[in-house]
Amino acid sequence: MVPTLSNLEVVKLSPSWKRIGAYLGILGGIIFIVVTFIAMLTYPGGYSFLEYSFSSLGLTVINSVPSMLNYFLFVTACTGAAVCLIPFLFAIRTVFTETSGLKALSLLGTIFGLAAAPNLSALSIFAGNVFPEVHGNTTRLFFILIMLGILCYSIAIIMKKDYENIYAVIGLIVVVICVLHIVAMFGVASELFGTALWQKVAVYALVLWSAFQGYKLLKVFEQ
């Protein structure tokens, strides 16, 4: 008879994939920061952190110079972060299951996040200088969907008694930052919140949210 894992053994093993998901939530942000930093260093003609957007890193031609290396690096950064986001979302959802309200919020948050992931990858694959409309639409969709996902999880954290509210506060701050950037992308207050610098504030805020939540999940899954 072929031996099988008992139910108890499965339960013991299950936290391992959750911890992997938590680590990937942190790793995705690290990948994005490191690879985009390399792309800034290799940017033809020099990259202006304050004046150039992240999307500039993924152009196929920069300053009349073919820049496939930068395009490849930007695709790697965004796609790597998108792939890491998926198991992270499945891991965090398992923490919010005590009530029907928490289950609904975590389900919505996960759905929004999962829908955001392919848009994050697509906005890099469809370079702004070659596919400007697709690039713009996927960029807007990514920010809208990830913002909605974080909003759902922030509300869930507030409702969950044994989850420190500081993580909800962090999430809500990120939501406000993203909303300001989103409205700017639609032409409202673009001179303030549609700048390359504010875009970086929004993106790095998303990275920090993922890192903080990943750290919290690691502590939860140790118990």
d(C-alpha 81, C-alpha 206), whole Å = 11
| Mean pLDDT in consecutive groups of 10 residues from the start of the chain, 223 residues | 40 69 96 98 95 96 94 98 97 95 97 98 97 97 98 97 95 98 93 94 98 95 81
For the chain, the 3-state helix, strand and coil shares in percent, each to the nearest 5, are: 75, 0, 20
4 located within any domain? no
19 located within any domain? yes
Domains of the chain: total: 1
1 located within any domain? no
- Residues with Cβ within 8 Å of 197's Cβ and at least 6 positions away in sequence, in order, are 50
10 located within any domain? no
Helix (H), strand (E) at residue 166: helix 166-185
Strand locations in the chain (E) = 61-62, 65-66
CA distances from 180 to 79, 142, 143, 162, 208 (A): 24, 14, 11, 31, 17
59 located within any domain? yes
Burial class (CB in 10 A: 0-12, 13-18, 19+), 16: exposed
168 located within any domain? yes
Which pLDDT belongs to residue 14? 57
Which pLDDT belongs to residue 2? 43
What domain range includes position 60? 15-222
6 located within any domain? no
87 located within any domain? yes
Q: What is the pTM of this model?
A: 0.91
Which pLDDT belongs to residue 195? 96
